[in-house]
Each structure stands twice: as structure tokens, then as C-alpha cells.
Amino acid sequence: MSEESVPQQGGEAGRPKGLLQQMEELMAALNADLSALDADLQSAGRGAEETEAK
């Protein structure tokens, strides 16, 4: 897992994050990871298509 899943100490007077906030942060990180994976797969697919066309 990434650092986002580790509870942070300190900040906000030591108050723990709420479950909803943790889930929102995890979903944002997941969305970013999936977007990067999608871009990687699309660029790899384009490279394979160009190789086959030659």
C-alpha cells in the first residue's frame, strides 16, 4: 500500500482522520493510479499497432 493508507500522527491537534476523509483520499489515490495505468496501456497499445503496421 502507499503512504496514504498509513494514519498520520500530529496535525489537527492529534485528531484522527474520519473514515469518510480516509476513503476519499484513498479513492483519489486509486483514481490517479488507474489514470496512469490507462495512459501506460494506451501508449503500449499504440506502439504495438505501429509495429504490426510495418
| Predicted confidence (pLDDT) per residue in 25-43, tens digit | 999 999 999 999 999 999 9
In this prediction, residues 6-32 reach a mean pLDDT of 82
In a domain, residue 44? The reply is yes
pLDDT for residue 11 is more than 50: yes
pLDDT band at 15 (very low <50, low <70, confident <90, very high): confident
In a domain, residue 1? The reply is no
* Burial (CB count within 10 angstroms: exposed 0-12, middle 13-18, buried 19+), residue 22: middle
Given CA atoms 6, 11, 13, 19 in this order, what sign does their dihedral have? Answer: negative
In a domain, residue 12? The reply is no
pLDDT value at position 51?
72
Q: Which domain holds residue 23?
A: 17-53
In a domain, residue 40? The reply is yes
pLDDT for residue 46 is more than 50: yes
In a domain, residue 8? The reply is no
In a domain, residue 22? The reply is yes
In order of 6, 13, 32, 54, the CA distances from 40 in angstroms are 27, 41, 12, 22
